[in-house]
Chains A and B, each alone.
Chain A
Amino acid sequence: MKDLKTICSENITALIVLIFAVVFPIFNSAYKVDQFTGFYVTCLLSFSIILIWGYTGIFSFGQAAFYGVGAYTYAIISLCSDKNLTILAALAGIAIAGVFALILGYFIFYGGVNEIFTGIITLCISIVCETFIVQTSGPEWKILGVWIGGYNGLNNIPKIKIGNFVLNGVPLYFFVIAVVFLVYFLFRKLTHSNMGYALFGVRESKQRSELFGYKTAKIQTLAFGASGALAGLGGVLFSAWSGYVVPSTLSVDNSTVAVVMVALAGRKNVTGALIMTLIYSYFTHQLAASGNVFSNVILGVLLVLIVMFMPEGALVELFKKADMLLEKLMGKKKKTA
């Protein structure tokens, strides 16, 4: 795991992506900028999977549920009053998703549930949340006076307001990429921190870590809570960006797509997850927009091939190859065992 100061393909790529993100609005239409804002928002969902699956080793199909909780909380609070409550709504969305994950995580990890059943429980959570929201079409289903709307979801959700300034269009784009890159850099920092190593230890062997004095259930619960809050942040920004939220936001499909993107990139690599989410989102959108009915089949075949031939992830393999080339070019001799 390389730090940010090392000259390597991962860091060079991250820098290129950052420059690309910053100059993107200069060369592209408002429509494209808006489209890419959505892609960057999805990166936060992928990051939440990197934290819980890639760093902590807990396979979760429930991240979309936390994403949806964040999205619905923001929507309900920002719609419930004419007052400028969007910042409060955003914070509440993150907090409620985080607390929801924390409570769930407490019962899972302190209850000693094994890895396979954790995956099944999180899968069920997504299904339960989506099913619950779907049946809220009756007029009695109101929270803070806001009708949840069942299948139709919530529309006309206000944009985030900072003072009197409404985040929309290019300002919203820059706000989102600032959040995404801030989270990205925090991840890179975490990788070399004590907490990061504690997570890796738990991921590689929970029992061994316990014998080194780590309180593994506490570490897993906190990581699950943090990943829920991170997914919640994604949901808040999704809600504020799109202006709508529907039950499928919490669906297993949504979780699965994010898991697939992270698996394709390499689940232990946050740079890979960032880039793969952007590429995957872009191509899925392009394939769908072109009317290609086989878009999911094409992506599915691609996934199978990558899992078969590059089990560590396509981008992680590419980074490794590029680093070898880079070292050759720089005339460095690799330290070997």
Chain B
Amino acid sequence: MANMETPKEKILILDKVSKQFGGIQAVEDFSMSMDKGELRCLIGPNGAGKTTVFKMVMGVYPASSGRIVFQGEDITSISASKRARKGMSIKMQVPGVYEELTLRENMRIAAENYVPKKQLAEEIDRLIELVHIQDLGNPQVKNMSHGQQQWLEIAMALASNPSLLLLDEPAAGLGPEETEFTAELVTSLNKQGLSILFIEHDMNFVRKIADQVTVMYYGKKFAEGSIDEIVNDERVIQIYLGNS
């Protein structure tokens, strides 16, 4: 994992980032920044633009306007593959695993750009163990449960030894025990110095692990602060629960 560095140093800055799809403004003038080693959550009602922001950060969608700065470098116009090689990694909302391949083949594809060939098997073992799927053997990924696929994807995302990990709904579709383990895993990765930005709808999960929370609403930043500030913010409660 990346080493702990000065907390004030910024790992990611989004400066007035916007994204338009035809006539639809998915994200508008969205700004936020993250310190190195921070564990931040991005929340908001469905359609708020959270996943779009993730995809702009990773380079899947080019930003229509604004600037994205990663570790002090403007990465707004570079390709997704270059961004990945610069040290950012993502677990997608729908598990982005190679379903037709086996567990170890998935890990191999994720790791081979970053790990010397001689250490590949050892590193794959370590990561599989880290996410607790070592007892599965080497099944075809499509035969693994949803939770196992989520953890496999986290292991794959960690294979590049990233400085910033983006997790899009890591607890979605998981049972209580699986959610508990995922929370422990994310916290432990963060404690080792990894900066993590995640999207989540499960507020218990968010309460348990997030340092800072950014709220999005209709493509814009709506609120920002510590988890306590956010859960007690009347306006945030209102956009989630409505006037009733």
Contact = CB atoms under 8 A, between A and B. Distances in A.
B81 interface: yes
B68 to A, nearest CB: 15
A295 interface: no
A335 B113 contact: no
Contact of A336 (B60, B80, B137): B137
Contacts of B159: 212
Nearest to A213: B84
A210 B109 contact: no
A103 B84 CA distance: 27
A330 interface: no
B138 A335 contact: yes
A6 to B, nearest CB: 14
A212 B117 contact: no
Contact of A211 (B60, B101, B136, B143): B60
Interface in B101-127: 101, 105, 108-110, 112-114, 117
Contacts of A211: 58, 60, 80-81, 84, 89-90, 96
B96 A200 contact: no
Contacts of B73: none
Interface residues of B, number: 34
Contact of B81 (A197, A213, A335, A336): A213
Given A213-B84, A213-B85, A213-B160, A204 B113 contact: no
Interface string A323-337: 000000000000111
B109 A197 contact: yes
Contacts of A210: 60, 79-81, 84
Interface string B24-51: 0000000000000000000000000000
Contacts of A1: 105
A200 B102 CA distance: 12
Contacts, number: 70
A130 B53 CA distance: 48
Interface of A: 1, 194, 197-198, 200-201, 204-205, 207-216, 335-337
Contact of B98 (A200, A335, A337): A200
A207 B61 CA distance: 11
B112 A194 contact: yes
Contacts of B60: 207, 210-211
A50 to B, nearest CB: 16
B112 A198 contact: yes
Contacts of B105: 1, 197, 200
14 contacts: A200-B109, A201-B109, A204-B100, A205-B96, A205-B98, A207-B60, A211-B96, A212-B109, A213-B81, A213-B114, A215-B81, A337-B137, A337-B140, A337-B143
Contacts of A213: 81, 84-85, 113-114, 160
Contacts of B84: 210-213
B139 interface: yes
Contacts of B5: none
Contacts of A197: 105, 108-109, 112
A204 B98 contact: yes
Contacts of B180: none
B149 to A, nearest CB: 12
A208 B81 contact: no
A208 B94 CA distance: 11
Contacts of A209: 109
B213 to A, nearest CB: 25
Nearest 3 CB-CB pairings of A with B: A337-B139, A213-B84, A204-B98
A207 B81 CA distance: 9
Interface string B136-180: 111110011000000000001001100000000000000000000
Nearest to A1: B105
Determine which residue in A1, A197, A200 has the highest number of CB atoms from chain B within 10 A of its CB, and name it. Answer: A197
Contacts of A212: 84, 109-110, 113, 156, 159-160
B99 A204 contact: yes
Nearest to B138: A335
Contacts of A198: 109, 112
Contacts of B136: 337
Contacts of A194: 112, 117
B140 to A, nearest CB: 8
A288 B23 CA distance: 59
Contacts of B92: 208
Contacts of A216: 81
Contact of A214 (B81, B98, B100): B81
Interface in B61-83: 79-81
A205 to B, nearest CB: 6
A175 to B, nearest CB: 34
A151 to B, nearest CB: 44
Nearest to B137: A335
A17 to B, nearest CB: 26
Nearest to B100: A204
